[in-house]
Amino acid sequence: MDRDRLEGKWTEIKGRLREAYGVLSDDELEEARGDREQLEGKLQQRLGQTKDEARKTLDQILEKV
């Protein structure tokens, strides 16, 4: 998903991320707003995932949007 689409659907994406991963704060999500790499980094850091795992996690969320 490109940056424009990511930003355009941000509210829905943010909601799905909060549902699935309550460990992510609103501030962290807003900090990464529209930036896939930052979002993957936040997932990686907070969930203790590898970079590939974080990418797959985000891909699964984005497929549902």
At 55 the pLDDT is 93
At 38 the pLDDT is 92
At 9 the pLDDT is 86
Q: Which fold does the domain 3-63 belong to in CATH?
A: Protein Yjbj; Chain: A; (1.10.1470)
Domain ranges of the chain: 3-63
Burial class (CB in 10 A: 0-12, 13-18, 19+), 49: middle
Query: Residue 1: is its pLDDT beyond 70?
Result: no
Average pLDDT estimate for 30-45: 89
pTM exceeds 0.95 for this model: no
